[in-house]
Amino acid sequence: MDTEGYANTGGQKSKATQLSAVQKFATDGYRRPKKNLAEMFMGYGNVYVASIAVGASPSQSVKALIEADSYTGPSIVLTYSPCIEHKIKFPRGLSRLADEMTKAVNTGYWPLFRYDPAKITRGVNPFVLDAPKKLIGEVHDFTELEDRFGALERTHPEDARSLADQLQVHITNNFEALRRRHLEGARASTMLIRVGVSPDTLEEGQDDASHRVLIVYASDTGNTAELANRFGNMCRSRGVAVDGVLDMSEVDSLSQLPTGTGATLVVMTSTVGEGDLPPTAVAFKAMLDSAEEGSLASTRTMVFGLGDSSYHHFCGAAVALEKALQRAGTVKVAPTGLGDDQAEDKFETGFEQWTPAVWPALDAPQDEIVEDPTASPPSPYSVTEAAPPPIDVVDSAILPSSSPPGTFPLRVASNTRLTPEGYDRVVNHVCLGVYEGIDGRPHHDLSYHLGDALAVYPSNGSGAVVDWLAAYGLDPRAYVNVSTPPSDARRAAFFRSGPVSLRSVFAELLDLFGKPTGRFYRQLARFASDPEERQKIEEVSSNPGAMAPTVAEALLSFTSARPGLEHLLDLIPIIRPRLYSIASSPRLDGGGRVDLLVVLAKWSDGTGAPRSGLCSTYITRRLKSGDVLRCGVTAGTFSLPTSITSPMVMAGLGTGIAPFRAFVQDRAIRAKQSEEKPGPMIVYYGARHREKDFAFGEEFEGYTRAGILTEVVGAFSRDQPEKVYVQHKIAEDRERLYDLLVTKAGYFYLCGQAGHVQQEVEDAVSSALGSRDELDRMLAEKRYSLELY
């Protein structure tokens, strides 16, 4: 905690006192710059060093403290600490410390940076200058706010001016030295990451200022964060310096954005529901919206969005951010990329189509720079063997090894199959409750809103993982420590707590049995020592579906391509959460309960072999009462009325009925607490057979008898010779729907699997409303909501 003086003795001078400051025993102004502790410790080469100012940048402070805590060697974090002895002038005083710290940072008086020696072994720049990217104003703009600097102007005005000039020169020189360290380190790491290049062979004359990017992202389930980090590595491998890969919540000021002809801002974002921004993007867009028009004219930008074309506002978050950037005057230097969840390889398809147009804008080659084709590619991860940790007798057998950021444990209260045994569709009703430790106390508060989704993090089957590890030549009982880039939040969190077994790594973190993509095969080809196998792998990369159906099988198919663990961590994608609409009201049983409706996803692969989904298999076939899940709550896509009198029309396809069970439950609970009569509620229920697939059917019929539900309209497609679907039942209800949705301004909801059905339902509703204009009005008023998967 740096108060820049001996604060506990009433503000005496010390070697931490800054040039020109007046303190006890330095009443005529301190005559030398303060001791530079950061430079001293960075000089050792094995000490983690950071400079933070909590009030100026809370996110940078948290990031530095997490990094310092996870670093295996000594760490020092220098924290700017305003003090009463600084004599901050009225009316600011100590009540405006955040503004004070921000001014100190912006003028370069207290720069924010991080030095992580662990990055050196990975060929990554160990030094990052977080702020300011450029000086804003002069040091006097900061020092004039504090009388420890102003006092000398009254007693020795000439000395004050001279020392102030010296301080400005010192601060400017120090900032330029840090900036050079940032840029030169970036050049070194950019060059070192090229395969087989040593520091002695660094190219001369590369102007890094013309090849720099800052990547900012907003991620809802982790896909965009993973993609942003991957794109950063792709840039480095092409000679482009990466100033940082930041969550948008870490951008505290637009002054952090790069400027100049050689600097590019890369914006990557997911989309929430019907075109909405992820939560971490909201403040970033607000900053852009508040910027003066044209104020960012010196910033070059490119945008990539992830979304689902089943929704009306496909990649709406990316579109909104791009409009805000353009209004602020940024220069678009590459076409906007769009990743579609409905594509063959989901967002990967759009990403691979986007990147070829990006490299010319960054003056970078299309392919990675590989100076030694025989050398293994670099890895951002460092792996060391470790001894097994002490066994935690409390929770080691119950809780997963590590929980992803933003998640919490839930205990399975019950897991009941609803469809008959022997029927080809397996649908389970899962009830989850708050996890309580051995002391009987809940680990967390379980809170969610009506219409939210639960993100469930599955794991691979332990038996299958152990078998594969043995076949690959790895010991599932071995423990390792892994050093990860701090921007890789999911892997960093997994390995932060200490040694982890290989069984846990491949069961809980890596999507070992997921579908391999073209990128996976292209990366794998670089490890093949047999030229013929390398050629075969490269050929498979253009049609990945023609080879092995899982990553595990692909890795065993080529004997000369056996990446080590540090490369497998990069090569194999991490397990992503699956989202399930919550099928219960947050008011049910007084809170603390979450219900899900889960169908086992089944299909046949290219060879005709049966396959099933990772998470749905995990839930329907492996979970039992008492087990613990890693979960997180994700905001839903539905827009809900505030009054229980508003009409609600719901169309659920299969397990898409889940959120509507929650809606009906919630209205029933609220109706008991209200004097108002609940408004009309109609459920259109689409499934195959009434006897086999009518999940929650008896419960819905009970709500109908109680007067909460107006009607449950069944569309059971296979109960009669002719197929009957939800859209047909909606088309038969034209008059009633017009009354509820137009005359009474009600709400319409559709939930189910994406495909042609949503368009047919939309056509049926539009016809019932009498015109497309009425449907557009409902969309604009957010009274027509979709949740598709």
Q: How far is CA 199 from CA 121, 187, 193, 204, in A?
A: 12, 11, 10, 11
SS (H, E, C) 488-541: CHHHHHHHHCCCEEHHHHHHHHECCCCCCCHHHHHHHHCCCCCHHHHHHHHHHC
Residues 6 or more apart whose CB falls under 8 angstroms from that of 50 comprise 64, 65, 67, 68, 75, 76, 77, 78, 113, 114, 115
Domain 395-459+575-636 indexed as CATH 2.40.30.10: yes
| 7-190 matches 395-459+575-636 in fold | no
Q: Quick one: pLDDT band at residue 32, thresholds 50, 70, 90? A: confident
Q: Which pair of tokens denotes residue 598?
A: 């889960």
**What distance in Å separates the CA atoms of residue 274 and residue 251, rounded to the nearest whole number?**
25
Q: Does residue 195 surpass a pLDDT of 70? A: no
Q: How far is CA 325 from CA 136, 202, 299, 670, in A?
A: 21, 36, 9, 43
Which of 337-351, 478-492, 676-690 is predicted least confidently? 478-492
pLDDT in tens, 97-127: 777 888 889 899 889 999 998 877 666 678 8
By the 8 A CB rule, do 182 and 127 touch? yes
Q: Which residue has the higher pLDDT, 605 or 326?
A: 326
**What distance in Å separates the CA atoms of residue 512 and residue 490, rounded to the nearest whole number?**
16
The domain at 7-190 falls in which architecture?
A: 3-Layer(aba) Sandwich (3.40)
Q: Which pair of tokens denotes residue 221?
A: 């389930």
Q: Which residues pair with 415 in a beta bridge?
A: 430
CA angle at 23 for the pair 18 and 27, rounded to the nearest 5°: 110
> Domain ranges in the chain?
7-190, 207-361, 395-459+575-636, 648-788
Q: How far is CA 114 from its chain centroid?
A: 22
Q: Which residue has the higher pLDDT, 203 or 770?
A: 770
Residues 6 or more apart whose CB falls under 8 angstroms from that of 237 comprise 193, 194, 368, 369, 378
Residue type, 440: G
Q: Quick one: pLDDT band at residue 437, thresholds 50, 70, 90? A: low
Q: Which residues pair with 6 in a beta bridge?
A: 12
Which of 20-24, 724-728, 754-758 is predicted least confidently? 20-24
Residue 216 has a pLDDT of: 95
Residue 634 has a pLDDT of: 87
Q: Does residue 503 surpass a pLDDT of 90? A: yes
Residue 204 has a pLDDT of: 33
Question: Among candidates 525, 237, 527, which has minimal Cα distance to 369?
Answer: 237
The domain at 207-361 falls in which architecture?
A: 3-Layer(aba) Sandwich (3.40)
Q: Does residue 393 surpass a pLDDT of 60? A: no
Residue 394 has a pLDDT of: 38
Residue 395 has a pLDDT of: 40
Residue type, 70: S
Q: How far is CA 418 from CA 290, 414, 582, 696, in A?
A: 52, 12, 17, 9
Which of 14-28, 292-306, 400-414, 619-633 is predicted least confidently? 14-28
Which of 58-62, 573-577, 582-586, 698-702 is predicted least confidently? 58-62
Residue 122 has a pLDDT of: 60
Q: Does residue 196 surpass a pLDDT of 50? A: no
CATH of domain 648-788: 3.40.50.80
Q: Quick one: pLDDT band at residue 440, thresholds 50, 70, 90? A: low
Q: Does residue 312 surpass a pLDDT of 60? A: yes
Residue 622 has a pLDDT of: 93
By the 8 A CB rule, do 57 and 129 touch? no
Q: Does residue 528 surpass a pLDDT of 70? A: yes
Q: Does residue 267 surpass a pLDDT of 90? A: yes
Q: How far is CA 333 from CA 258, 325, 358, 362, in A?
A: 14, 12, 8, 9
Mean pLDDT of the chain: 85
pLDDT in tens, 138-167: 888 888 877 777 777 777 777 777 777 888
pTM of model > 0.85: no
Q: Does residue 443 surpass a pLDDT of 70? A: no
Residue 610 has a pLDDT of: 86
- Beta strands 681-687; 648-653: pairing state: parallel
